[in-house]
Amino acid sequence: MEKAERLQKLAQAVLEMDVEGIVPLIEDSLAAGLSPVEILAEGLSAGMRQVGERFKQGEIFMPEVLVSCDVYYRGLEILRPLIRQTGGGPVRGKMIIGTIYGDIHSVGKDVAVPVFQAAGYDVIDLGVDVPDERFVEAIREYEPDIVGLGTYMTSTFMHTRETVRVIEQAGLRDRVKIICGGPAVDPAAARRMGADDASDDAWEAVGKLDRLVEELRAARRSA
Amino acid sequence: MSEIVDAWVRRLKGKLRPIGEMTHWERMAAAFELRRADLVPVAPELDYWQITYAGYSHAEIYNDVDKTTDACIRTWADLRTDAIWMYVDISHQIENFIPPEKRPEHFVHRGDKDYLLFKPVAKTIDEAIELYESRAYERYLEGSRAVTHYVPHMLQLLEFQEKMDRIVPVIVGIATPSNYAETLVEVQQFVRWTVTEPKKVKRYLDLALEERLAALDFYAEIARKHGLHFVCLFGGARTWGPRQLREFGYADEIFVQKAVKLFPYVFWHICGHNLPEAMQLLVQWDGIKAVQYDMPYYSQKLSWPEWCESVARLFAGKRCAMNSPTTQTACHGTPEDVRRMVREFLDATLPHTTAVVMPGCEVDSYSPVENVRAMIEEARRKPLP
């Protein structure tokens, strides 16, 4: 089987939610000499991009997206240790992400994290119901470019102001860009509360992340 | 007999200024029956908002029925909306699956204005099925299928409704099988299983349906004895796709068929991603008189007026449309944003069907009072065609 065909099958497995089939496909591809980075970037991640396109077109819906994400993760579990050994591909930026304090829903983050990873972001997932102080610790520990605040509900989105305040108080606000995500977010309201942007669509958010990282790096250069 | 209710009835009965030519009850009933009312009814779902508006915190009212009822009536007396919403978080309704001593672990109070968090009861679909098969919901209940500890509050509000001679209706929310099934295990798990474990999901939904149908009998008794007329069916299925609606929509449909026979004014509450398709389904289910709908999440290709008009055309001659502003605008927008959205909704809807002004979901605790007042004023200002 040609390399292009193998990569196509990997992408297809993500798109078709083949939870059982992804592991042997990856093992075969590794045995055939494909690098872990190729398998991830041109196979699994390409599949996630196709998932996004179909989701935007209204051809697939959240249940299918979530299972495709599970397939992606299953593949990532195999590939991540190998990528660490061999050195990964280019990283577009580093991000910490967590569902905001007071919100236990993970449905949005479950989609956003693999989409961002597939787009080339190094994403550290802090989990759900994350206290503000944990975001501060994680900024110090991981030195990310972006802080992602996931909120599922209108009321927990309003907690953004407090999280931003705590990050500011710790003297870390200038080091990161802050983006909110979830079905109830609004970019203008997010900015009023001190964040930099917001998005209700993980694939659309990738473009915003790129822009925010670019702005942050420009600010760092000029400083 | 409730002292708090009697105190409010003494204060209000016969002393309220009339609003329009109809009572609030008549106005709501007219809209539901697709008849012309004197004014556009406005009935925002003020669940949590009314608690903080009245000066209470969520933690304060959680175990205090009198304060809960006081908050709802006080808010209504100030704002004179066309319905009073019973206070309940839909997750309260699954309290009957949890041993009383464990309930505090599942409900988390944070700030005074913050949402009450609910932690799921089961982690796997097998656990969830086992909960139903062992009839856990009967084990922890005392003497009835009372689905929430707020039932006494519901009875107080209905007592107020009756003692005020039904000038204003009380709306009671009842969760549908899909909502119940999703809440027990968390929605993100449930929707995954619709893809990976469809047979088990069907079994699970069948059990949820059985419990919900029996719960309707409990509410029917309330309707008979206490005058419950206006019922909001809280639909789940908010992130379902067409396949899920086709394969698993039957549970909610059977539930609706029974509910519409028990209560005169039944409406459906739905929000989420796949709304256009879900709305098509809802107009096929006989007996639902109105639909409280939101804007589809994510990439909406229609403008707000276009979306409202598409729904109104679909509902023409069949359903009353309940909407506007969005919950997000009610919370984050300005009063002028709220007014504009209400106007656009009414302009798009009234040529085709009747309307009730209310956001598609609950008004958030953080929504400014000016925005809620703007919503009410704008609805009342609109001349009816």
Residues forming CATH 3.40.50.280 domain(s) in chain A = 93-222
Tell whether A155 lies on the interface with B, counting CB pairs under 8 A.
yes
What is residue A201's predicted lDDT score, i.e. its pLDDT?
A: 85
DSSP string, B304-330: HHHHHHHHHHHHTTT-EEEE-S-HHHH
Task: Name the token pair of B53.
Answer: 């508006």
The arrangement of secondary structure in A3-86, i.e. its CATH architecture, is Orthogonal Bundle (1.10)
CB-based contact B366 A19, cutoff 8 Å: no
CB atoms within 10 A of CB B269: 25
CB pairs under 8 A between A and B: 97
* A74-112 confidence digits (pLDDT tens): 998 899 888 877 666 678 999 999 999 888 777 788 889
> Which candidate in B51, B114, B183, B304 is best for mutational testing of the A interface (most A CBs within 10 A)?
B114
Return the bridge partners of B85, or none. B171
Whether the CB of B347 is below 8 Å from some CB of chain A: the reply is: no
CATH number of the domain where residue B303 is located: 3.20.20.210
| B contacts of A188 (beta carbons < 8 Å) | 332
Residue A55 has pLDDT above 60, yes or no: yes
In terms of Cβ atoms closer than 10 Å to its own Cβ (0-12, 13-18, 19+), residue B217 is exposed
pLDDT average, residue stretch B291-310: 83
Q: In chain A, positions 105-134, which contact chain B (CB-CB < 8 Å)?
A: 105-107, 110, 129
Strands A93-99 and B117-118 come out as unpaired
A169 in reach of chain B (CB within 8 A): no
* pLDDT band of A152, cuts 50, 70, 90: confident
> Whole-prediction pTM value?
0.89
Q: Does B273 touch chain A (CB under 8 A)?
A: yes
pLDDT at B90 over 70: no
Residue whose entry in the numeric block shows the structure tokens 């992130």 = B239
Instruction: Give one DSSP letter per residue of B337-372, joined into a string.
Output: HHHHHHHHHHHHHTTTS-EEE--SSPPPTTS-HHHH
In whole numbers, what is the pLDDT of chain A averaged over residues? 91
* Partner residue opposite A154 with nearest CB, options B110, B274, B331: B331
Residue B177 in this model has a pLDDT that exceeds 80: yes
Start-end of CATH 1.10.1240.10 domains in chain A: 3-86
Domain count within chain B: 1
pLDDT tens figures, B222-237:
999 999 999 999 987 7
Q: Residue B280 belongs to what H/E stretch?
A: helix B275-284
Number of neighbouring beta carbons within 10 Å of residue B169 = 26
Q: How far is B36 from B48, CA to CA, in rounded Å?
A: 31
pLDDT average, residue stretch B318-335: 93
Which residue range is the domain that position B164 belongs to?
3-381
Share above pLDDT 90 across residues of chain B, in percent, rounded to a whole number: 66
Q: Which of B271-275, B320-324, B341-345 has the lowest mean pLDDT?
A: B271-275
Is the peptide bond preceding residue B325 cis, with omega within 30 degrees of 0? yes
Closest by Cα among B296, B308, B310, B169 to B228: B169
Q: Is the pLDDT of residue B297 over 70?
A: no
Residue B288 CA, distance from chain mean position: 14
b (16+ CB within 10 A) / e for B87-98: bbbbbbbbbbbb
- In this prediction the ipTM stands at 0.83
Q: Note the CATH architecture for domain A93-222.
A: 3-Layer(aba) Sandwich (3.40)
Residue contact A61–B240, C-beta within 8 A: yes
Q: Which residue has the higher pLDDT, B276 or A147?
A: A147
CA B360 centroid distance within chain: 9
Q: Is A32 helix (H, G, I), strand (E, B) or coil?
A: coil
Yes or no, beta carbons of B195 and A188 under 8 Å apart: no
Band of residue A157 on the pLDDT scale cut at 50, 70, 90: confident
CA A1 to chain centroid: 31
**A68 vs B: CB within 8 A:** no
Give the CA-trace dihedral at A167, A172, A175, A176, to 10 degrees. -10
